[in-house]
Amino acid sequence: MSKRGYHHGNLREALIDAALILIEEKGPTGFTLSEAAKKAGVTPAAVYRHFAGRDDLIAEIAQQGYAIFADLMEYAYQSGQPSALASFEATGRAYLAFARKYPGHYVAMFESGISVNRNPELAHLSGRAFGVLERAAAELSEHIPAEKRPPPQMFSAHIWAMSHGVVELFARGSPGTKAPFSPEDLLESGIGIYLRGLGLIPPDE
């Protein structure tokens, strides 16, 4: 690919695409801005027109990922309506689906060390995504007596942690973590056990 320097019309997008490939190949800290520039077909100096450093580039990818993730979570939630249970289960599955379809974004969001509070937009998009899960948890648990009802933030955090664990251990090809069940089955059964413990689904479902 020829060098296009400062006249590359889609430089920002090209750098993001190049970095996504490098993140999947080498991890979020395994490449340099110069490598991203080379893969994008531009001069290293051109990168600094848009990004002050590698962390800025990764933060941009994380922000993009959270925007996609938030839309996906909202779509999953709406697909289950008017059933609070179906909506809640759909948001859990959406986490797994996102990690599989957007691995570079997923790594930038959760494994790069970039704080969601790095900038207001990133914080907003992160809050929007997990706000969907909190909303689903609140709706599902509203029939539990108040004194026994976990806070929606705790409820959703438990499911988030479970989903994240399934992704990390079984859905991304981690060595030495093969299971005789699919990640989808592991997540569904785990959520089922959790919901039974809260009395939200009957023991025989």
Whether residue 204 lies inside any domain: the answer is no
Residues 67, 47, single domain; the answer is no
Residue 2 has what pLDDT? 42
Judge if 43 and 73 occupy the same domain.
no
Q: What is the dihedral of CA 67, 73, 76, 80, to 10 degrees?
A: -140
Question: How far apart, in whole angstroms, are the C-alpha atoms of residue 97 and residue 175?
Answer: 20
Is there a single domain that holds both residue 20 and residue 91? no
Residue 65: φ, ψ to 5°: -65, -45
Q: Look at the alpha carbons of 96, 102, 105, 111 in this order and tell me if their dihedral is positive or negative.
A: positive
AA identity, residue 65: G
Q: Which residue has the tokens 């009395």?
A: 199
User: What integer pLDDT is reported at residue 108 of this predicted model?
Assistant: 94
**Look-up: residue for tokens 């709406």?**
78
Is position 15 within any domain?
yes
How far is Cα 131 from Cα 193, in angstroms, rounded to an integer? 23
Q: Contact at 8 Å (CB) between 133 and 156?
A: yes
Amino acid at 147: E
In a shared domain, residues 7 and 73 = no
Q: Which of 31, 51, 71 is the last residue of a domain?
A: 51
For every one of its 205 residues, what pLDDT tens digit does the chain have, with 9 covering 90 and above? 344 444 445 888 889 999 999 999 999 889 988 899 899 888 888 888 888 889 999 999 999 999 999 999 999 999 988 998 888 888 888 988 999 899 999 999 998 989 899 899 999 999 999 899 899 989 888 888 888 888 888 988 998 899 888 888 876 665 555 667 788 888 888 988 888 888 887 766 5
**Tokens 């999947």 — which residue?**
24
Query: Do 29 and 59 fall into the same domain?
Result: no
The pLDDT score that the predictor gives to residue 61 is 95
Task: Please state the pTM of the whole predicted model.
Answer: 0.85
Domain containing residue 165: CATH number: 1.10.357.10
Query: What local confidence, expressed as pLDDT, does residue 4 receive?
Result: 43
The reported pLDDT for the residue numbered 5 is: 43
Cβ–Cβ under 8 Å, residues 93 and 37: no
150 and 119 in a common domain: yes
Residue 49 has which token pair?
Answer: 């027109």
